[in-house]
Amino acid sequence: MIPQIREPKMGMSPGTFSFHFNNRPILSFRNDNWLCFEVKRNKDNLHTPPHSGVFHNQGHQHSRLHTEVCFLTWVRSQLSRDHCYQVTWYLSWSPCVDCALQIADFLDEHPNVNLTIYVARLYYFWRLYFRWGLRRMVEHGAQVHIMSSEVPEKAGDTQGYAGLGEAHDPMMGISPNIFYNQFHNRTGQKDTWLCFEVTEKENSNSSGSCPRSGVFRNQGPPSTPCHAEVRFFTWFQKVLSPDLHYQVTWYISWSPCADCADLVVDFLAKHRNVNLTIFTARLYYHHIPEMHCGLRRMYEEGARVYIMSVKEFEYCWDNFVYNKGKQFVPWNGLNENYKSLVSKLKKILGL
């Protein structure tokens, strides 16, 4: 039975805000969780004013309906499958484990929704179970940050995020819905997701060791995201050794933008012990000459660039997706889209 949810409030008093959003790590008598939200449609509907408001826990103390559940129940009736949405939360406490799991399920059910969460405090951050809940949300697509007095900072850049992993640590995998919606080779979502494998070799003749692998995605505020490629290189430079040779393989939902292509070129020029192979699901703005130049420069610097085929999609599904033993099911038009993209890429690279 769906609970009866009160409509969101339009705002709160200054005293309520100061009391509940105080960001001291541990505070007494702040049991309520307050959620300020904004829901915006995609770029095609910028003229549409965003929904905004405030929720907090509803019900009696021992049978309380958490504020995140209140929002998710309310927002379902506001969403349309025909639009993409950017949802932003400002929370006084980070979600508990049960709410984190409901958020992950919600994002799986609504691949047209991007969720960014800014929290004033981390709820029971010293308990592994609560850390796992936050990781679960991130693996299913939520972006989680700590609130600051000016520009929201990435959660990993603050001491309050201790134990959750550093800002540039990769995720271990992604959900099936994220994979199907982000890696679709015609109608995929706008975010960039990067699945990677890094194999170390002591010299050019030795066999590779067990590969390191993981997943990165765009991180940071929607207006100034840190691109997935930047996050990979920031992480990779921490584990890179000049005494080893590396084979790096990317499976990426969008080919690198011009700026990230320049970053790839500079990195490969400085690290001759690194070979990079890129399989991309789609070509980013392939009609713009600047993007052509970026792809050509990467290719000329030694990066091998390919379009993902069914073989690569199946490999990603088996190695980077929480697939619960299910097989990858190709979508209609996958092979046709693949052939069209291969033709475009060959033309761009002059092959």
pTM score, two decimals?
Answer: 0.62
Q: What is the separation of C-alpha 124 from the centre of its chain, rounded to a whole number of angstroms? A: 24
User: Is it the case that residue 48 has pLDDT exceeding 60?
Assistant: no
Tell me the Cα Rg of the chain. 22
The identity of residue 278, as a single letter, is I
Query: What pLDDT does 161 receive?
Result: 30
Summarised one tens digit per residue, pLDDT across range 240-249 is: 888 899 999 9
One of 3.60.21.10, 3.40.140.10, 3.30.420.40, 3.20.20.120 is the CATH number of 14-161, namely: 3.40.140.10
Look at residue 28 and tell me whether its pLDDT is greater than 80.
no
Alpha-carbon distances of 67 from 48, 208, 283, 294, rounded to whole Å: 25, 49, 40, 45
- CATH number of the domain at 176-349, please? 3.40.140.10
Look at residue 194 and tell me whether its pLDDT is greater than 90.
yes
Segment 8-35 mean pLDDT: 79
Tell me which of 200, 229, 301, 336 is the catalytic residue. 229
- Residue 195: pLDDT band with limits 50, 70, 90: very high
CATH topology of 14-161 equal to that of 176-349?
yes
DSSP-based three-state secondary structure for 277: strand
Confidence bin at 84 (pLDDT 50/70/90): confident
**pLDDT tens track for 113-172:** 889 999 998 888 778 778 888 888 888 888 888 887 653 333 333 233 333 334 457 888
With 80 as the cut, is the pLDDT of residue 64 above it?
A: no
Residue-wise pLDDT for 268-316, tens only, equals 999 999 999 999 999 988 788 888 898 999 999 999 999 999 999 999 9
Contact assessment for residue 43 and residue 57, using Cβ atoms and an 8 Å cutoff: no
Average pLDDT, the chain: 82
| DSSP H or E stretch at residue 145 | strand 143-146
CA distance 178 to 182: 6
Q: Tokens 């097989």 correspond to what residue?
A: 327
Specify the pLDDT at position 237. Answer: 86
Closest CA to 345 of 182, 233, 185: 185
Would you kindly state where each structural domain of the chain is located, as residue ranges?
14-161, 176-349
Helix, coil or strand: residue 31: coil
Report the distance separating Cα 129 and Cα 274, nearest Å.
37
229 is catalytic: yes
Question: In degrees, to the nearest 5, what angle opens at C-alpha 75 toward C-alphas 71 and 76?
Answer: 125
- 205, pLDDT greater than 70: no
What's the whole-number mean pLDDT along residues 76-88? 84
